[in-house]
Structure 1
Amino acid sequence: MKKLIVLVLLISLSCKKKVEDKVNGVSFVSSGEEVAQIHVNPILDIHANYAAIMPFGFIPQTDSSELIFNSDRQWFGETKEGAKQYIGMLHKNGVRVMLKPQVWIRRGEFTGNLTMQNEADWKKLEDSYSKFILLYADLAQETQTDIFCIGTELASFVKNRPEYWSYLIEEVRKVYKGKITYAANWDEYAKTPFWNELDYIGVNAYFPICDRQNPTMQTMREGWQPWKTKLKELALEVKKPMLFTEFGYRSMDYTGKKPWLVDRNQEKVNLQAQADATQVIFEEFWDEDWFAGGFVWKWFMHHDKVGGLADNRFTPQNKPAESVIRRQYAKIKKYGL
């Protein structure tokens, strides 16, 4: 009888540890002002234990070789000073941070298409990008940030310059002593060549899972299975945990068809589809040993002014999906508390 009780306790502790180790994060959108306690409270209310902070570097077009970053023409939250203030406020509240500097191409063109036309321009881009990333790697070390992301959805850059990325990882590790990842797009991650050199396999998980206008949870579960199998196989092969550096759904019809869509379409609002899709991703992944957790896309500073029942965009704020996230994230303790 005593052996049985010990076994039950060990299983219970193992399951508890598995849940509490998960990254239950939000992607915290940069703003033009400082973060105050009133802005952090909604993050605490959903029991998030991580937030991604995303300073930006800007580039004019997909063949431009020079990044503009940490400029006085940017919003406060997109700069080094702003990122530091955001991180400080989150840490003060027991929320860990992934620092995730990102590239923005004018008019929102897809960063995966960033491609230079000649060797000289590739060298210029690499030099500019290194300065951008190492500036924030230094900040990550200074602030004792837990995770640092070296890039987001840069498929062509990675494909054409794999040696550079290995060099960049080495340079980042000279500066920053925490855990490192890269945020590969859902259709890019299987070809990313440097997972062995990182601490997490990072994936922006906008996988197409269902073509239905009003998808059921069952159809979305079924749609996840082939993708889940491949993700698990890679995690086990590389022996690195899988981290969803971004995940989320639009609150609209056909939410599982092309989850990456960021256009301003007028597709009918479908709050239940967003909530159900979010619940399914939690059920499919959060209990898996090879899965580290993820960051909801996306979470805005002014909680009372965003989202809502008439909004068909990504944010779960003030929608049924927010309650789904709260229930899931409530299973974990926040560090430092």
Structure 2
Amino acid sequence: MKINKLLIVFSVLLLQSCTSQSKKINGISFVASREAVNQSHIKPVVNLNANYAAVMPFGFIKNLNHPDIVFNTNRQWFGETKEGAKQYIEELYKSNIKVMLKPQIWVWHGEFTGYIEMKNKTDWSVLETSYSKFILEYAQLAQEMKVDIFCIGTELEKFIENRPNYWKKLIVKVKKIYKGKLTYAANWNEFRRTPFWNDLDYIGVDAYFPVSHSKTPTFNECLKGWKTHVQTISEISNKNKKPILFTEFGYRSVDYSGKEPWKSDRSMYQVNFEAQTNTTKALFETFWKEDWFAGGFIWKWFHNHSKSGGDNNSQFTPQNKPVEALIRKQYHLK
């Protein structure tokens, strides 16, 4: 009898272990807005079967060579500030949505953050001081709110390439404040060179990999397009013994959506829902079954669901488009 009881206990524990390992992060990137949110804004996230949301406050710099980061000012939208991020997290928690806090930098005129690079040592020192103040303040919020994941930066390749020792020291400082899981959101063509994955819990990738050159990429084309990329991604995971987390993923509902998925160019305006659906389906099919893959955050989700996306929208959001049903189905799977 004792042996049978032990076998039963062991089987239950094994089942629980397997279930916990297979549970993916089915996330959305919750866009900061001008206003506070309430449960009417969170309900569509729940209806999508999402279990995580990335909350994204912002800091701003004037240009790619400017070292001062401005943040938490009354000139920012509410959701871009510390107060707003806290309020968003509180509302998400009410619906049992877990959170990745992902403070980001915005360069005026929308220039790519990966190109932020100072011209001299003095400016690098100023930038480091400014960025530390920015990220450590949000690390304190992450700890206060007990968020599950904290992202220490997004697409900052030149900053990391030029100042790797600073980033190593920053991670140590973050860990003294925040006791949860850590990641960094590397761009799709950056993550292979990121030097500090061993110091974090997830290898974060903004997954805008090119997978098809077709105007309307087919599901099978995209599956084929992923083959080389997925091999590299899995190798980086195995090398560092860390799971892969897509800190951002998604496609625009536009012609050639799989060719250069990172583009938000407004000159691309031909709405193509089939392209968005096929590319997204292929990404799910390629990654969500893999043990070394933790999950990801769809880019991007606006708080006012009824007025977001829709028939004439060629941008990234899946809201009120055919791909939303695909995501809901995928996120429902256990």
TM-score normalised by structure 1 residue count? 0.94
Look up the match of 1:329.
331
Report the Cα offset of residue 15 of structure 1.
6.0
**Structure 1 counterpart of 2:128, one-letter code:** E
1:88 equivalenced with 2:55 (yes/no): no
Identity within the alignment, %: 56
1:240 equivalenced with 2:242 (yes/no): yes
**Structure 1 counterpart of 2:163, one-letter code:** R
Query: Are the aligned partners of 1:19 and 1:286 in contact in 2 as well (CA < 8 Å)?
Result: no
1:206 equivalenced with 2:192 (yes/no): no
Query: Are the aligned partners of 1:52 and 1:97 in contact in 2 as well (CA < 8 Å)?
Result: yes
Look up the match of 2:186.
184
Look up the match of 2:171.
169
Look up the match of 1:307.
309
Look up the match of 2:155.
153
Secondary structure of 2:140 counterpart: helix
Q: Which aligned pairs between 1:251-262 and structure 2 lie closer than 5 A?
A: 251-262=253-264
Q: Which aligned pairs between 1:28-67 and structure 2 lie closer than 5 A?
A: 28-67=30-69
Look up the match of 1:19.
22
**Structure 1 counterpart of 2:248, one-letter code:** E
Aligned residue pair count: 326
1:71 equivalenced with 2:73 (yes/no): yes
Structure 1: gaps of 5 or more residues: 1-5, 333-337
**Distance (Å, rounded) in 1 between the aligned partners of 2:175 and 2:19:** 32
Provide, for residues 71-98 of structure 1, a one-character-per-residue CA deviation record: whole Å limited to 9, x for no partner.
Answer: 1111110001000000011011100000
Report the Cα offset of residue 16 of structure 1.
4.1
Look up the match of 1:270.
272
Task: Identify the match of residue 98 of structure 1 among 97, 100, 103.
Answer: 100
Look up the match of 2:133.
131
**Distance (Å, rounded) in 2 between the aligned partners of 1:32 and 1:321:** 27
Over aligned residue pairs, what C-alpha RMSD do you find? Answer: 1.7
Query: Are the aligned partners of 2:22 and 2:291 in contact in 1 as well (CA < 8 Å)?
Result: no
Provide, for residues 246-267 of structure 1, a one-character-per-residue CA deviation record: whole Å limited to 9, x for no partner.
Answer: 0000001101000000111244
**Distance (Å, rounded) in 1 between the aligned partners of 2:13 and 2:131:** 47
Task: Identify the match of residue 283 of structure 1 among 282, 285, 288.
Answer: 285
**Distance (Å, rounded) in 2 between the aligned partners of 1:257 and 1:37:** 37
More relative contact order in 1 or in 2 (CA 8 Å, sep 6+)?
A: 1
Report the Cα offset of residue 278 of structure 1.
1.0
TM-score normalised by structure 2 residue count? 0.95
- Rate the CA distance shift 1:215–1:9 in 2: closer, same or farther, 3 A: farther
**Distance (Å, rounded) in 2 between the aligned partners of 1:13 and 1:236:** 24
- Rate the CA distance shift 1:78–1:107 in 2: closer, same or farther, 3 A: same
Query: Are the aligned partners of 1:19 and 1:331 in contact in 2 as well (CA < 8 Å)?
Result: no
Structure 2: gaps of 5 or more residues: 1-7
Provide, for residues 265-303 of structure 1, a one-character-per-residue CA deviation record: whole Å limited to 9, x for no partner.
Answer: 244211011111111111110110100000000000100
Secondary structure of 2:327 counterpart: helix
- Rate the CA distance shift 1:255–1:11 in 2: closer, same or farther, 3 A: farther
Query: Are the aligned partners of 1:28 and 1:300 in contact in 2 as well (CA < 8 Å)?
Result: yes
**Distance (Å, rounded) in 1 between the aligned partners of 2:15 and 2:222:** 30
Provide, for residues 88-127 of structure 1, a one-character-per-residue CA deviation record: whole Å limited to 9, x for no partner.
Answer: 1101110000000000000100000000000000000000
Report the Cα offset of residue 330 of structure 1.
1.0
Secondary structure of 1:57 counterpart: strand
- Rate the CA distance shift 1:306–1:187 in 2: closer, same or farther, 3 A: same
Secondary structure of 1:61 counterpart: coil
**Distance (Å, rounded) in 1 between the aligned partners of 2:237 and 2:111:** 30
**Distance (Å, rounded) in 2 between the aligned partners of 1:200 and 1:136:** 18
**Structure 1 counterpart of 2:332, one-letter code:** A
Report the Cα offset of residue 154 of structure 1.
0.3
194-203 or 273-282: bigger deviation: 273-282
Provide, for residues 177-219 of structure 1, a one-character-per-residue CA deviation record: whole Å limited to 9, x for no partner.
Answer: 0000000000100010000110000000000011011111111
Provide, for residues 132-169 of structure 1, a one-character-per-residue CA deviation record: whole Å limited to 9, x for no partner.
Answer: 00000000000000000000000000000000000100
**Structure 1 counterpart of 2:150, one-letter code:** F
